[in-house]
Chain A
């Protein structure tokens, strides 16, 4: 089974920009992996931020954006806010199954 890799932790300054990545053990991540990004705060259910690489839901703050970058899926946060401190998970689609990354703990400090 494929392994999806994410940074274990990142720190961003308030107002700063940070990029989280989502890599695949099978090689280059493409749009055919339909990368999704989820945000989870302590004690809460996950919330979907980005689907199918770049698409946002109506509730996704404009400061979040998705892309493909350097052969990986990427989530960029521009203008970090204190409320963005959370765990972020990506997942990729592989021939009918979904695999989550291990998650990135983002600290806004």
Chain B
């Protein structure tokens, strides 16, 4: 059974940093691209970033480019999103999803909530 479990969300002050994690199980993690998607409460879904299975191909949405870093540790079956210089508009639920280039999106985690506020 595929499982994706996000963690690391919480309250962070504007300008601060946090690292989100997504622990994956039930599939060969290194074989698949992974993606972060976020959702402002009451609003739509926004693609944030994707990373290829081997970590060699990475892309970001303009809204987070230069402030966020996606990475993965295939030995730990874990996906990360490092967020720096966070702003109020980064407040959202962050989902990790299995899929990206070369592989369709299928499974989603339950999300971790990030609130940026002083």
* B96 closest partner in A (C-beta): A45
- Given the interface pairs A52-B104, A55-B104, the reply to whether A97 lies near B109 with Cβ below 8 Å is no
Query: Main SS of chain B's interface residues?
Result: loop
Does B44 make an interface contact (CB < 8 A)? Answer: yes
Q: Distance in Å from the Cβ of B70 to the closest Cβ of chain A?
A: 13
- Would you call the interface of chain A mostly helix, strand, loop, or mixed? strand
Contact B108 A46 (CB under 8 A): yes
A98 to B99, CA, bound (A): 11
Residue contact B45 to A103, C-beta cutoff 8 Å? yes
**Is B53 at the interface (CB under 8 A from chain A)?**
no
Q: Does A102 lie within 8 Å of B47, measured CB to CB?
A: no
**A51 near B106: Cβ-Cβ < 8 Å:** yes
**B59 near A: Cβ within 8 Å?**
yes
A55 to B110, CA, bound (A): 23
CB distance from B29 to the nearest CB of A (A): 18
B 42-70 to A, binary, CB cutoff 8 A, 1 in contact else 0: 00111100100000010101100000000
Known: A1-B62, A45-B95. A91 touches B47 (CB 8 A): yes
B45 CB contact (under 8 Å) in A52, A89, A96: A89
- Considering the complex, which residues of chain A in the window 84-109 have a beta carbon less than 8 Å from any beta carbon of chain B? 89, 91, 96-103
Q: Does B91 contact A (CB under 8 A)?
A: no
Judge whether B47 and A100 touch: CB under 8 Å. yes
Judge if A30 is at the interface, Cβ distance under 8 Å: no
B50, B95, B105: the one within 8 Å of A36 (CB): B105
As a 0/1 sequence over residues 36 to 79 of chain A, the CB contacts with chain B under 8 angstroms (1 = contact) are 10101000011110011001010000000000000000000000
Select from chain B the residue with minimum beta-carbon distance to A89.
B45
Q: Are B106 and A46 in contact (CB under 8 A)?
A: no
Instruction: Specify which of A45, A51, A89, A102 lies most central, judged by the most chain B CB atoms within 10 Å of its CB.
Output: A45
Task: Mark A residues whose CB is within 8 Å of B.
Answer: 1, 34, 36, 38, 40, 45-48, 51-52, 55, 57, 89, 91, 96-103
> 20 new A-B pairs (CB below 8 Å) besides A45-B111, A51-B104?
A1-B62, A34-B104, A36-B104, A36-B105, A45-B110, A47-B108, A48-B99, A48-B104, A48-B107, A48-B108, A51-B106, A89-B44, A96-B59, A96-B101, A97-B59, A98-B47, A100-B37, A100-B45, A100-B46, A103-B44
